[in-house]
Amino acid sequence: MTDQAYNFAYLDEQTKRMIRRAILKGVAVPGYQVPFASREMPMPYGWGTGGVQVTAACLTPEDTLKVIDQGADDTTNAVSIRKFFQRTAQVATTEATSEATVIQTRHRIPEAPLTKDQILVYQVPIPEPLRFLEPRETETRKMHSLEEYGLMHVKLYEDIARHGAIATSYAYPVKVEGRYVMDPSPIPKFDNPKLSNSPALQLFGAGREQRIYALPPFTHVVSLDFDDHPFEPSKAPHDCDLCGAGESYLDEVITDDQGGRMFVCSDTDFCRTRREEGHVGRLGEPQFSSKKIANSFEGICAPEEAAE
């Protein structure tokens, strides 16, 4: 079969129409999980089938797509989804956050501020924030509809009782516009403040669980907490070893078996941009702005060169 045998962006128009209706409903009721008829996609569940369907329904031929996985543009999940849309939709792709109009993401929100012309699409494994506390779907739906969210705080209570602090560090539950409690997908809680009042449209797609939910631009989003244990976004207490950034979310990379390690920005585009601007971290080398050189150094996966 040739590529022309596929409709634009893989899904047929009726499916995209159905997904767009779910998205519109999600935008109209921020934080509410809208059921939709999720399709089988040519990739396994858990690889972003929900996000891919939402992206497919949002894409137009003029769009520029960026796909990130844990902040990185060059990891398997990101590369395969980017290639998928290059082939089936022939859209332009980019690694620069500022140039993209649609960004599909897994587990991160880009460091660079988003704009009103961008759509951020999240891949969601388990959309129901109450799932691990209340296994019955009928019951969780009732709890959402009647706004009975005491149970969510039981989870946070348990964290403090066992660990002395709220130990939930990703998929940290939030309350949207004072109404629905929502799972922000497994982003680190460092990213939670960026959910609130974002100028970009944020869409969440869960393929296996068949749910879509959304945060329209400038939605008020609050992370749940206790009065005497307030919410704190956390990150490793270091600066990036390549670009020296002190305010970005960091990955820890083990460099040898002697206890050597380095901390690097998890957002590769943010890190590269900073290095091109001349910022240098503890283990970094000065970069010269030619994009080619930057690209060859790009991977955080090449720490030996950087360490020398």
Partner 1 sequence: MTQPLLSVRNLTKLYGPRIGCADVAFDLYPGEVLGIVGESGSGKSTLLSCLAGHQTPDTGKVIFETAQGPRDVLQMAEPDRRRLGRTDWAYVHQNPRDGLRMGVTAGGNVGERLMAVGARHYGDIRDKATDWLGRVEIAADRIDDRPRQFSGGMQQRLQIARNLVTGPRLVFMDEPTGGLDVSVQARLLDLLRGLVRDLGLSVIIVTHDLAVVRLLAHRLMVMKSGHVVEQGLTDQVLDDPQHGYTQLLVSSILQV
Residues designated catalytic: 31, 240, 243, 265, 271
Q: What's the min distance (Å) between Cβ of 189 and partner 1?
A: 17
Determine if 154 is a binding residue for partner 1 (CB under 8 A).
yes
Q: What's the min distance (Å) between Cβ of 228 and partner 1?
A: 5
Q: What's the min distance (Å) between Cβ of 162 and partner 1?
A: 7
Q: What's the min distance (Å) between Cβ of 231 and partner 1?
A: 12
Q: How far apart are the first and last CA of the chain?
A: 49
**Residue choice 1, 40, 161, 178 for contact with partner 1 (CB under 8 A):** 161
Interaction mask 261-300, partner 1, x per CB under 8 A: ----------------------------------------
Q: Which two tokens stand for residue 136?
A: 């019955």
Task: Considering the complex, state which of residue 29 and residue 133 has its C-beta at the smaller distance from partner 1.
Answer: 133
Residue type, 280: V
Residue pointed to by tokens 């769009």: 63
HSE-up of 35 (CA within 13 Å, CB side)?
3
Determine if 146 is a binding residue for partner 1 (CB under 8 A).
yes
Q: For strands 102-106 and 64-69, give the pairing.
A: parallel
Task: Considering the complex, state which of residue 10 and residue 32 has its C-beta at the smaller distance from partner 1.
Answer: 32
Q: For strands 211-215 and 201-206, give the pairing.
A: antiparallel
User: Beta-strand (E) ranges in the chain?
Assistant: 34-35, 64-69, 92-93, 102-106, 119-123, 174-176, 180-182, 201-206, 211-215, 221-223, 250-254, 261-265
Considering only 156-164, 204-212, 233-241, 281-289, which stretch makes contact with partner 1 by CB under 8 A?
A: 156-164
In this structure, are residues 173 and 181 in contact, taking their beta carbons and an 8 Å threshold?
yes
Task: Considering the complex, state which of residue 63 and residue 128 has its C-beta at the smaller distance from partner 1.
Answer: 128
**Residue choice 74, 148, 276, 285 for contact with partner 1 (CB under 8 A):** 148
**Residue choice 6, 8, 45, 157 for contact with partner 1 (CB under 8 A):** 157
CA distance 234 to 249: 9
In this structure, are residues 68 and 251 in contact, taking their beta carbons and an 8 Å threshold?
no
Determine if 74 is a binding residue for partner 1 (CB under 8 A).
no
- What residues line the site for partner 1 (CB under 8 A)? 133, 146, 148, 150-151, 153-154, 157-158, 160-162, 226-229
